[in-house]
Amino acid sequence: MKLLLASALLAAVTADRADDLVSSMTLEEKISYLGGRGMGTYPEDGWYVGTVYALDRLDIPALLYNDGPQGFRDDARPGTTTAFPSGLNIAATWDTEMAALWGDKMGKEFFDKGANVMLGPGLNVARVPVNGRNFEYMSGEDPVLGATLVPHVIEKAQAHKILANAKHWVNNNQETNRGSMSSNVDERTRYEMYYPPFQAAIDAGVGSFMCSYNKINHVYSCENPETLLTDLKGNMGFEGYVMSDWGATHSPSLMEGLDQEMADSDFMNFDNLKDMPIENIDASVKRILKPFIDVGAFDITENEQADRSIYNNVTNDEHFQAARTIAANSHVLLKNDNDVLPLGADFWNSDINVAMFGTQAASPAIGGQGSGRVDAAWTPSPLDTFKARAAGGDYGADSDKVSYYGDPMSDDDIAEMKDAAEAADVCFFWLSTMSGEGGDRDSLSLDNDVHVASVAEHCKKSVVVVTTPGAALLPWSDAVDAILVNFMPGCASAFATMDVVLGDVNPSGKLPITFPATENQEGFTEIQYPGLDDAENVTYTEGWSFGYRFYHQHQENPNFFFGEGLSYTTFDLIKATVSGQSIKVGLKNSGKATGSAVPQLYLQMPEECDEPLWMLKKFAKVSIDAGEETIVEFDLTDRDLSIWDVDNDVFEKCTGDATVRISFSANFNDDGSYIEKELTIV
């Protein structure tokens, strides 16, 4: 009770302070906060991507915005910040501690670089597997996954006296024609499938939102009163401010719910807004100022400010090691026949020969392209990392135990690879593909992987490491022994992969997205993607039936299901019990090594609720020693058991008979892979 009273008192104080500032501002000063300035305007030689100038008269500092969702982007000073793993990697950890570590270290770098708004995290749910920005988003294909992780990012980042920014609001689920296409999606689908990660960010106190380029139901996102006023600021209770994506404003949209145009005031300027109702102008300015006051961004001490500068080099070994830890924990082990991994700590001490295939080994891709790109100070390559470890020396040491072959360009190259494979004790195939902002992927195929199956036939042991910005086709998966997926793993990826393959880190990542068996296995039509009328309309006719929910509904099998991921140990689920809305399940480490399991609770709602056949509702990441047992408890809230009532604009609790499945993935093909219990919702 004391804590609640203290929070209420603090909120009242910051609201009063914001009111005092607004009441002291002239109309010109107020409107200057409703439109920003773009790149290169502050400081004198740039480079923050967005700026609102300081109001020295009232001791209000400049508002300094910067990309992005996986590290501070500084194109003018490349290498001065840490290229952290992507948002999709955070989703792959299924780990709130990794989310908190990510938010903490990124927030620290933004603060030290002098910014006070971090343009991230990205929260959109992955609807379209080929979406070019899926790597940026920490929800994967499930709203509960994103909603569980994002509060830990928000709280840790904003503890550094900066604002986080939840983006891209909303239904920005593809890059194809993003500036003109309309995402046509019904209200219930929005609330149940696409809003929950954003709602979780609101509940965690996020200070700002960014509206997206696309239209929703034929109205641009940044001037859409239904999604901005009725949904976001109304039903969802968001009290912070909404900025536009850079160039996503099409009109002076103050009355429709937009608070600030970025990066330039082409529409939200004095001439267009001076005759708007003053109460609306005041409300938006207060929405902008209050979150900065709440997090302490207007109360930076002189000592703190003296150490902050865009010119700082803020990357360091501590942050590199944090990136390494996060990357290692986001590696997903999809296959491990005959326990070829881990190689073991003594592997390099033996008389062995390792063959490494693929240019990704020598010149690794570590992150996607676009506004989320970060140029790393140092990107160790897998090839040099392996050589140094084999030589028993520091990075840069050489070893003849490791041979390297780039991507094959001819039949002769493939023949040479086969000879090398015959001579090797272990073959490593390093595969990748890339995507970025502004366009979707042409396909889910990886680059230059057609040789894998034929060369793997000649390997004693074969391991494939896949770096990908989203789902990928793995047509050679039956031909190799082990598959590791590390998504867009950041600057320390080579060290992280080494940690995993040697067994220094037991892999615990799980797929945040389904890996299909074929291109467009979900059967998106032209109505759904990319849309008819020259891709101007995309209609979400599938509702909730995308990702693993599609495969359950249509009884189809992808290559690998959402939630899948192996460990170097084994886990068993033991008897589950249900008491009211609480479900307890026993978890045992039945293997020989300490590891982390991720029990996942899927719910089949009462039939009359018209919900997905199975829907993730809860999960927990649990570390447990070999041979040990523990109890995992899942408490379902009323919200977990509710559907959106479009007539009354509320979540209404379902009642009736439901079914719970607790498993280690969404793959229910093996009856022994899950425990099923009945649940009566009252």
Q: What is the 3-state secondary structure (H, E, C) of 475-541?
A: CCHHHCCEEEECCCCCCCHHHHHHHHHHCCCCCCCCCCCCECCCCCCCCCCCCCCCCHHHHCEEECC
> What is the pLDDT confidence band of residue 350, given thresholds at 50, 70 and 90?
confident
- Residue 662, H or E segment: strand 656-663
User: pLDDT tens-digit profile of 549-596?
Assistant: 999 999 999 999 999 999 999 999 999 999 999 999 999 999 999 999
Assign 511 to helix, strand or coil: coil
> Are the C-beta atoms of 627 and 589 separated by less than 8 Å?
yes
User: pLDDT tens-digit profile of 178-209?
Assistant: 999 999 999 999 999 999 999 999 999 999 99
The answer, yes or no, to whether residue 5 has pLDDT greater than 80, is no
Q: Residue range 603-632: average pLDDT?
A: 95
- Residue 13, H or E segment: helix 2-23
> Are the C-beta atoms of 573 and 675 separated by less than 8 Å?
yes
> What is the pLDDT confidence band of residue 529, given thresholds at 50, 70 and 90?
very high
What pLDDT does residue 3 have? Answer: 47
Q: How far apart are CA 601 and CA 620, in angstroms?
A: 9
By DSSP bridging, strand 219-220 and strand 354-357 are unpaired
CB hemisphere CA count around 568 (13 angstroms): 21
Share of the chain above pLDDT 70, in %: 97
Q: Residue range 28-41: average pLDDT?
A: 89
> What is the pLDDT confidence band of residue 10, given thresholds at 50, 70 and 90?
low
What pLDDT does residue 204 have? Answer: 98
Instruction: Give bridge partners of residue 538 from the DSSP assignment.
Output: 183
What pLDDT does residue 6 have? Answer: 47
What pLDDT does residue 611 have? Answer: 86
What pLDDT does residue 670 have? Answer: 76
Q: Is the peptide bond before 121 cis (omega within 30 degrees of 0)?
A: yes
What pLDDT does residue 673 have? Answer: 84
Q: How far apart are CA 680 and CA 57, in angstroms?
A: 62
Instruction: Give bridge partners of residue 578 from the DSSP assignment.
Output: 583
Q: How far apart are CA 385 and CA 383, in angstroms?
A: 5
What pLDDT does residue 45 have? Answer: 64
The answer, yes or no, to whether residue 89 has pLDDT greater than 70, is yes
* Tokens at 185, concatenated: 């999606």
Q: How far apart are CA 273 and CA 255, in angstroms?
A: 10
Give residue 105's identity as a one-letter amino acid code: K
User: pLDDT tens-digit profile of 133-160?
Assistant: 999 999 999 999 999 999 999 999 999 9
What pLDDT does residue 47 have? Answer: 83
Compute the mean pLDDT over every residue in the chain, rounded to the nearest whole number.
Answer: 95
289-303 core/surface letters (b: 16 or more CB in 10 A; e: else): bbbbbbbbbbebeee
Assign 54 to helix, strand or coil: coil
- Residue 482, H or E segment: strand 482-485
What pLDDT does residue 4 have? Answer: 47
Q: How far apart are CA 451 and CA 459, in angstroms?
A: 13
Q: Which amino acids are annotated catalytic?
A: 245
By DSSP bridging, strand 63-67 and strand 50-52 are antiparallel
Q: Residue range 626-632: average pLDDT?
A: 97
What pLDDT does residue 7 have? Answer: 55
Q: In degrees, to the nearest 5, what angle opens at C-alpha 92 toward C-alphas 87 and 95?
A: 95
> Are the C-beta atoms of 85 and 69 separated by less than 8 Å?
no
Q: Residue range 367-377: average pLDDT?
A: 94
Treating both helix axes as pointing N-terminal to C-terminal, what angle do 493-502 and 317-330 enclose, rounded to 10 degrees? 50
What pLDDT does residue 8 have? Answer: 52
Beta carbons within 10 angstroms of residue 224's beta carbon: 26
Q: Return phi, psi of residue 631, to 5°.
A: -110, 130
Assign 96 to helix, strand or coil: helix
* Tokens at 3, concatenated: 């804590």
User: pLDDT tens-digit profile of 108-125?
Assistant: 999 999 999 999 999 999
Question: Which conformational region is residue 589 in: left (phi greater than 0), alpha (psi within -120 to 50 degrees), or beta?
Answer: beta
Q: How far apart are CA 63 and CA 313, in angstroms?
A: 21
Q: Where are the alpha helices (DSSP H) in 526-607?
A: 532-535, 548-554
Domains of the chain from N-terminus onward = 2-69+103-127+149-306 (3.20.20.300), 319-502 (3.40.50.1700), 569-681 (2.60.40.10)
Exposed, middle or buried by CB within 10 Å (0-12, 13-18, 19+), for 616? Answer: buried
Q: How far apart are CA 645 and CA 279, in angstroms?
A: 32
> Are the C-beta atoms of 456 and 476 separated by less than 8 Å?
yes
